[in-house]
Amino acid sequence: MVDAAIDSGINLFDTADIYGGGQSEEYLGRAIKGRRDKVLIATKFGMKMGEGKEGGKPAYIRQAVEDSLRRLDTDHIDLYQIHKADPATPIGDTLGALTDLVKAGKVREIGCSNFSAQQLGEAAKVQGAHFASVQNEYSMLHREPEAEVLPECQHLGIAFLPYFPLANGLLTGKYRKGQPFPKSSRAEDGFGPKVFTNENLALVDALRQFAESRDHTLLELAVSWLASKPVIASIIAGAKTPEQVKANASSVNWRLTEADLATVNGILAPVK
């Protein structure tokens, strides 16, 4: 998977300490061994890793970064992100510890995930290193960030990294209204009731028809639509096979015109 990504021109790999209980970082570290200078590693901390191992307290951050560096088998992390806000710790304390890591060369840039516009604004007022990015859920079928977070990113000069850009696979084009879910799909695995509604499937069908009328796939439309947003620096897309990696990488080659965007946004008008 990593080989396919690098061969396709992808150089940003996003993971977190909590994924697989640390195994995701370990596997990524092994996969990039000998070519660390060719990739950018983004990882996250803050979710519960064990008793007393969570949040944004300085002492824990110092421990968490060393654990991640060891698992990744590297001497620095390109983008170190707090996975979610910690209401029990002042953001100034968290940013102070992260600033120290940047000064020590263990971290190049810092970011956050699952932050609101208000939380981004509060963090921006703190002296020291500032968040370079925020990673929140965003797709054509989940447009909540447009209300406040995207404008705040534009105002503060923070990059936005959308996760779940394909709405748990709904925007890959393999789901059709009235047809059974494909085997080993996210829908079959239990995401169905929440995401795979008749309303969403009808929207997906309209989007698929538009994409095909332009000789493109629904996946290409979903990713290119996100890439057209000025504050979006990269798109966090998962994959299960090397073929999916290659499809994700090539999907941004479609440059949507203003007319294309107007048509798509008209189709998406019902999405709150």
Residues labelled as active-site residues: 19
Cα 11 → chain centroid: 14
The string of DSSP letters for 143-175 reads: -GGGTTHHHHHHHHT-EEEEE-TTTTTGGGS--
Helix (H) or strand (E) holding 246: helix 242-250
Q: What angle do CA 41, 46, 52 make, to 5 degrees?
A: 135
The phi, psi pair for 142, rounded to 5°, reads: -140, 95
Contact of 236 with 135, CB cutoff 8 Å = yes
- Amino acid identity, position 114: N
Q: In what order do the strands lie in the sheet with 12-14?
A: 12-14, 40-45, 77-82, 107-113, 131-137, 159-163
Contact of 85 with 114, CB cutoff 8 Å = yes
As given in the structure block, the two tokens for residue 265 are 């946004």
